[in-house]
Structure 1
Amino acid sequence: MSKEHSLRNRYYEIGIDGKSGRTIRLVNRLTGDDYLKSHDSGEMYKLYCLDLETGERVEVVPEGAASAKEEAAGDRSLLTLCFEGGRLAGAGGKSVKINASVRIETSDDDPESLWAIEISNQDERYEVVEALFPYFRGFYLGKTWEDDVIIYPHHAGERTLAPVREYTSERYLNFGRGATTLGQDGVFSREINYCGLASMNWMYYYDDDNGFYLASYDKDFLVTGVRVETGGPDDPWMGWGLRKYVTCGQGEVWKSNPTGVALTTDDWHWGARRYRKWIDGVIEMPDNPEYLQDETILNQCYNFKRNGVIFNRFSDIPSMYDAGKQEYGMRHMFIASWNRSGFDQDYPEYQPDMELGTPWQLAKGCSYVNENDGFVTFYINSRIFHVKSDFFNTLGKKWAMKDHAGEMYHEVYGPHEFVVLCPSNKEWQDYLIEMGTWMVSSHGATGIYLDQLGSAEPFPCYDPDHTHDDIGRFNQGYLRVLRELLARIRGINDDAFLMIENCGDIYGSYVWGSLTWNGEDYDEFYNVFKYTFPEYVQVNMCNPKRHLEGEERVQRLHRDLNRALLLGSVFWVGLDKTVTLEAEDHEYLKAAIAMRNKLNLFFKKGTFADDEGIAEKPEGMDAVRWSLGEGGDLYVISNPRRAAGGCLAVALPDGPIRGIRYFDIDGNEGPIEHEQGMRQGAEVIEILLPVSEVTAILVEKA
């Protein structure tokens, strides 16, 4: 057997050590950079198994590659590596009879290669429950790691400069979810599961010259751990892996779907486009009622009952609706905290709380909204069961997810403890579907919001009494809930729709809006999900932050509003929150709402293109482009410091220009000064920006 195997085309060279089966070279041939800078490149894969005698979870690594086969046909090449057996990780680990074969497929004119693994378990002592593949470590790009950027699919996306340093910082080590953990081996890692906490199944790592793309093309939508590792600044390298939760017992074979691995010279937009190209073949875009295109704001009402305190009753719904419509033009009333005991209590007992009024009063309140040019969405939590519920022992324990030791997954929200329910267990699915249908049928709701569905982390479930056929079917369960609930409520009301908390690419096929949030302290970058899926509607929180004061509170409100304007998001606004605003800030909120309504004409017919087409923007400003097709381009610019003298340079469109005009958040509009110029050898339009916090510039084609 040769000592090394090489796969290469004009974009890259992949080197595999013939003895160990490890990846030892990943060379970008366009830049000459070998991405593997560390001596420890990591095993090709890792398996995690249950010891069937002790119940212990153990790690199995390959012993080495026993054989390899190289094939070529036309413009495609294939390398197959066979691994015979493995061993328990650690010094002196005993042998394990679990074989694997790895296929790496390349084509001559593509920067992406496709990797797949097949596992064959011949060991009666162990059951495979997780497969980490492919697995790379030892990365950084170019001469330094300090200018490297990672795009990570936490919720709507993160963009972090120098993750080698930042992922080892206190802010990430103390992150409440998606935190960095420090392993016993001294390796820092972040790993979040898809689909929920991870909204998409791809990552991207890049600097000014190089790019690296890793994506799971898994049409089965298994629960997948999206894993990142680093040695930290003292041992600078990055590592990557995708963990599949799947069982493979003795005598069984499991074959993965392909993983894409690409070496590019592009930034993260390349990865978004490539992932979108794949997923378009396995999901469909949502088909929502046309009227929802004109909804730019909703009236979020979490102020009925919380922690035993009553703020409003069902009889107050008409006046709450009227106030929102009068103040901000809000037609969409979002009702939470209506259920027994109020918000975050007694879930999933979705019955109207008796202290708030009768079911009849709730239905009459909804009727008032519907009869006065409005519509109602009801909140339902789709994930958790309150351990204090009267039905916890009879239903909660039965429906709960179980880990490999048979223990339930516990979560705490405020002072209340819950267990996580299994969305792939048919009893719980049916309960959710029927509760949502009941709210539309009996109370006149138009929308149903499923809290936590695209936000909280998926887990594997080992309960043998549940109806799922494997441990990693969490996502398929929620897909059934969304698909069947939507069909049922549309059968009652053609205008009905679904909303979820946060984002999930496969879930977006069935929902109108995703309530998007993440955490400013954790490099949130909603543009990632918006660019990848411009058809999906984000709903962004646009309330003043209760935990902030003074100028910091004002700046955060402006930042949230401005971001929502750039992304074309729906405003999430609560009257009980905005009542605390000073007059000047309240006027800015109203101006932002007016600006959002004016922009909507263009957003409805446009496609979000992030900053593509923007050659230069002033420092301290954010700018995005919305492609209007043959109509031209719309640029939206945020200038939080209202700096004067800024110039925006944008790509010169094909064909003649009819004109360039602007409108801003201060109510100004008209033609705008511009001239042609050059940037990096390309013709551009240079536009002098007005002094306004948010400006829209329309470049119209003739």
Structure 2
Amino acid sequence: MYKSRIKKTAGSLTVAVDSQNGELLSLVDENSGDNLIKNSSYTLPNPFALTIGGLTLTAPSNTEIKKTPALAPELREGASSITIVYPMLTDGVRFFDITVTVEIRCLPNSRLEFSIDVQNRSSSRIDECRFPCINGVFHGESYEDDTLVYPYNAGLKLRNPVAYLEKAPKKIYWRWQQYRYCYLIDGICTGTNAAGLYELNNLYSGPLSMPWTDYYSDNCGMYFGMNKTNGICSLSVSTFGKKSPGMNFAFVKKVESDGDFSMDGITLALHGGSWYEGAEIYKSSRPAPDAPRDHGWFGDSIAVCAHYDFKYQNGGVVHTFADIPVLADTASEQGGDHLLISGWHTDGFDNGFPDYRADPELGSADDLREALDKAHERGVFVSFYINTRLCNRKFAHLQTLRDEGSAIKADGKPYDELYGDDTLAFNTMCASSEVWQKHLLDAIRYLVELGADGVYLDQLAMAAPRVCHDRRHGHGLYDWTSGYRKLLEEAGKLQTKAGRPLNIMIEGCSDLYGGLVDGQLVSTFSYYFSGAYPELYRYANPEQTLVDMVYPSRGNVMRPEHIGKRSTEMINRTYINNCYFWIYDLEEDNSFFNDPAQWKYLKSVLLLAKRVRPALAGFAFRDTNGIVSCDDGLSARLYQNGDAYVLLYASESDELKYITLGFEAQITKAETLDGDEQAVSFTSNKKTFLTLPPARLGAIWLHK
């Protein structure tokens, strides 16, 4: 009997594919009868897309198969799998000797696992592979009540993403020194791509910190993730917007080769309707995390005072090495014990990369060593900025380094980048090049010998990975992240002159690197008004430490005014998320000293954080999972260690506030910003009703 579709069921999830061309037709939640695929746009590729130059190759249409029967795929049914073999492909004009095998496996717990194998016998170089193409999804009757979490940096949370991605954001332009910035407000996509889609598409592990996303409503959710790197891949989520609603999902592999390749370990799963469930699927399916790192003094530290004002890109000098002891005193006055120094090396920040030697205009190496000794006498630790990606083309004495260590494109030319001053050009250096890794490790050892306590490795987890075609490097095309992991592993073996582990912070966050470092800078201010949700990464990786920037409410020169207006909110969120504070002190350009009232508030928050943070060791971040309700103007986060809980909260006022927890527990301790230690609770119907002290910030300890 003819069947138009082939169906298989995994738990409560039934998948169906077209029996003639293998296209994905439906994803049915058997509990509700809802087909998640509501909008099967025939303009979008399905179930895969290969890009060759300006061409896109995908499954042949039924019409193409009728015209050319040799295009017909072979469909094989297993007990719990569907395999589709495409013997060749066409763009409608030419035929390509490329065989594509797609397999869909049904797993327990309403999960599907997708894999693709591509055998390329043509002479064509494949640029990208988009797979699997899950198109036109929303839950129930309306897309308007769906929410998307997406791991751009530490996370995005977009309510009604069909409409939000279509929404044109406001653009705020800002100039600081020779830098030109554009900040987005109330929107995140500035236009459509060539296919007419509003798209988020970020590379793992650059701006994409984890290879999964979750799309959910009140009663149903869809997890879409990958349990391995599959080379260099991005995660695409897109929509045509309200005019043709539905969300599209796919991983996009950088291929840039005329050889064979594959992708596997890609999972689509249904769950009950909370992204927390999606996070648990991710945690249970990802590779085993790295062994916990000894954070040493950083585990008790709460803030770093960042100085990018030793030598700026334009050559301007604000501080010299002789100022470091005074800056250490300033950090202590704020309540911190950690300094970060940038622009310390030849020609300064965003200019002298990677000539990592003490800039003589700032003092000698001996001057720097002496200054670090004095900072240590004050109980302050000092870290130094190193850029892990860029080499300025102006340095003739580094030409050999550029020749041997640059990341090379398919055309044989090096990748290049510009930052700030457009008269300066940088080569992108290959993360897996041994000569580049040695250069960076030598720079770190140089600083350690002078007395450094740590390093901040800029761009490492935030800038996009590159496919490097330089065969002399001895790595595979897609080994970028492996190279950075090796760098971090080697740096992690180093000890300071005091015999402590070298402290390592990186820009961005990544589940590939987070276990190898002490802190990860997530800079949520930069997309705070476009759905920033660092709680996503915190929940999925609770054992790792995120570092976040806070800013004064006035006197901002480095950042635009709208960021300063949310100063208190950002400080409070950093506290309740138990993140490490990054505080700039750039004299007139960005300093809390120019905002006395907010400086006073920040210091009080840091004092509270200093009391609370050590007590949170061993507690997992639970976000609001377990919080049933809380008053307006109140934000709270829950932490758990077995039957013990800690609730961190921040209020917009000093009035009494109320929180309801979804379990019964007794208060064992309370601390607040004002020193009030009184909190009241009662339990009923498996809930705990808390009356919080009248304080702006606090912490409540509870036990079941």
Deviations 1:626-676 (A, max 9, x none): 11324x211112222x174532110224xxx55354322222212x22223
Q: Tell me, yes or no, if structure 1 residue 94 matches structure 2 residue 103.
A: no
CA shift in 2, pair 1:305/1:202, >3 Å: same
Deviations 1:369-427 (A, max 9, x none): 23433322111000112233334654335533233334443332221432322112222
Deviations 1:8-64 (A, max 9, x none): 144211111111211110112223221111132641111124xxxxxx464322326
- Checking the alignment, whether the CA contact within 8 Å between 2:143 and 2:162 is kept in structure 1 is yes
Give, as a single letter, the amino acid of the residue that structure 2 aligns with 1:268.
W
The one of 634, 647, 650 equivalent to 2:661 is 650
Counterpart for residue 263 of structure 2? 256
Deviations 1:464-504 (A, max 9, x none): 4433222x221111111111222244799442121101101
SS of the equivalent of 1:47 reads: strand
Q: Tell me, yes or no, if structure 1 residue 3 matches structure 2 residue 33.
A: no
Deviations 1:518-569 (A, max 9, x none): 3212211000000010111111112326259999666422112111111111
Q: Distance in 2 between matches of 1:533 and 1:619?
A: 28
SS of the equivalent of 2:396 reads: coil
**Equivalent pairs: percent with the same residue?**
25
- Checking the alignment, whether the CA contact within 8 Å between 2:676 and 2:693 is kept in structure 1 is no
Counterpart for residue 206 of structure 1? 216
Q: Tell me, yes or no, if structure 1 residue 84 matches structure 2 residue 87.
A: yes
SS of the equivalent of 2:200 reads: strand
CA shift in 2, pair 1:418/1:16, >3 Å: same
Matches within 5 A, 1:486-635: 486-489=492-495, 493-518=499-524, 519-544=527-552, 546=556, 555-575=565-585, 576=587, 577-630=590-643, 632-635=644-647
User: Post-superposition shift, 1:114?
Assistant: 1.1
- Checking the alignment, whether the CA contact within 8 Å between 2:146 and 2:160 is kept in structure 1 is yes
User: Post-superposition shift, 1:320?
Assistant: 1.4
The one of 384, 387, 395 equivalent to 2:390 is 384
Counterpart for residue 53 of structure 1? none
Deviations 1:85-139 (A, max 9, x none): 1123xxx3411111111121113x412211111111121x213342211111111
- Checking the alignment, whether the CA contact within 8 Å between 1:173 and 1:181 is kept in structure 2 is no
Q: Distance in 1 between matches of 2:330 and 2:311?
A: 19
Counterpart for residue 104 of structure 2? 104
Counterpart for residue 699 of structure 2? 696
Per mean C-alpha deviation after superposition, the further-off stretch among 339-348 and 327-336 is 327-336
Give, as a single letter, the amino acid of the residue that structure 2 aligns with 1:430.
K
Q: Distance in 1 between matches of 2:412 and 2:55?
A: 17
Structure 2 portions without partners, runs of 5+: 62-71, 173-181
SS of the equivalent of 1:286 reads: coil
CA shift in 2, pair 1:645/1:142, >3 Å: farther
User: Post-superposition shift, 1:292?
Assistant: 2.4
User: Post-superposition shift, 1:207?
Assistant: 1.2
Counterpart for residue 676 of structure 1? 683
SS of the equivalent of 2:481 reads: helix
Counterpart for residue 170 of structure 1? 168
CA shift in 2, pair 1:295/1:422, >3 Å: same
Give, as a single letter, the amino acid of the residue that structure 2 aligns with 1:386.
N
Q: Distance in 1 between matches of 2:669 and 2:538?
A: 26
Matches within 5 A, 1:408-423: 408-415=414-421, 416-423=424-431
Counterpart for residue 59 of structure 1? 56
Deviations 1:309-343 (A, max 9, x none): 11111111112112322x12322221111011111
Give, as a single letter, the amino acid of the residue that structure 2 aligns with 1:666.
D
Q: Distance in 1 between matches of 2:606 and 2:256?
A: 51
CA shift in 2, pair 1:393/1:516, >3 Å: same
Deviations 1:598-628 (A, max 9, x none): 2113311311111111111223432110113
Counterpart for residue 636 of structure 1? 648
CA shift in 2, pair 1:183/1:569, >3 Å: closer
Deviations 1:48-82 (A, max 9, x none): 24xxxxxx46432232661222222xxxx122111
CA shift in 2, pair 1:489/1:133, >3 Å: farther
Per mean C-alpha deviation after superposition, the further-off stretch among 343-352 and 487-496 is 487-496
- Checking the alignment, whether the CA contact within 8 Å between 2:6 and 2:19 is kept in structure 1 is yes
- Checking the alignment, whether the CA contact within 8 Å between 2:453 and 2:496 is kept in structure 1 is no
Matches within 5 A, 1:90-169: 92-107=92-107, 109-123=108-122, 125-169=123-167
The one of 181, 201, 213 equivalent to 1:191 is 201
Per mean C-alpha deviation after superposition, the further-off stretch among 269-278 and 354-363 is 269-278
Q: Distance in 2 between matches of 1:462 and 1:555?
A: 46
Q: Distance in 2 between matches of 1:247 and 1:489?
A: 40
CA shift in 2, pair 1:559/1:285, >3 Å: farther
SS of the equivalent of 1:36 reads: coil
Aligned residues: 669
SS of the equivalent of 1:305 reads: coil
Counterpart for residue 34 of structure 2? 33
CA shift in 2, pair 1:215/1:550, >3 Å: closer
Structure 1 portions without partners, runs of 5+: 50-55
Matches within 5 A, 1:220-259: 220=229, 222-246=231-255, 249=258, 253-259=260-266
Counterpart for residue 175 of structure 2? none
User: Post-superposition shift, 1:571?
Assistant: 1.2
Q: Distance in 1 between matches of 2:625 and 2:387?
A: 38
SS of the equivalent of 1:352 reads: coil
- Checking the alignment, whether the CA contact within 8 Å between 2:136 and 2:248 is kept in structure 1 is yes
Q: Distance in 2 between matches of 1:389 and 1:71?
A: 61
SS of the equivalent of 1:419 reads: strand
Q: Distance in 2 between matches of 1:509 and 1:674?
A: 37
- Checking the alignment, whether the CA contact within 8 Å between 1:285 and 1:535 is kept in structure 2 is no
Give, as a single letter, the amino acid of the residue that structure 2 aligns with 1:214.
F
Give, as a single letter, the amino acid of the residue that structure 2 aligns with 1:563.
R
CA shift in 2, pair 1:309/1:490, >3 Å: closer
The one of 453, 460, 466 equivalent to 1:446 is 453
- Checking the alignment, whether the CA contact within 8 Å between 2:635 and 2:650 is kept in structure 1 is yes
Q: Distance in 2 between matches of 1:173 and 1:223?
A: 31
Give, as a single letter, the amino acid of the residue that structure 2 aligns with 1:245.
K
User: Post-superposition shift, 1:282?
Assistant: 3.7
Give, as a single letter, the amino acid of the residue that structure 1 aligns with 2:269.
A
Counterpart for residue 299 of structure 2? 293
The one of 351, 357, 366 equivalent to 1:360 is 366
The one of 291, 310, 320 equivalent to 2:327 is 320
User: Post-superposition shift, 1:594?
Assistant: 1.1
SS of the equivalent of 1:669 reads: coil
Q: Distance in 2 between matches of 1:334 and 1:583?
A: 22
The one of 47, 54, 61 equivalent to 1:44 is 47
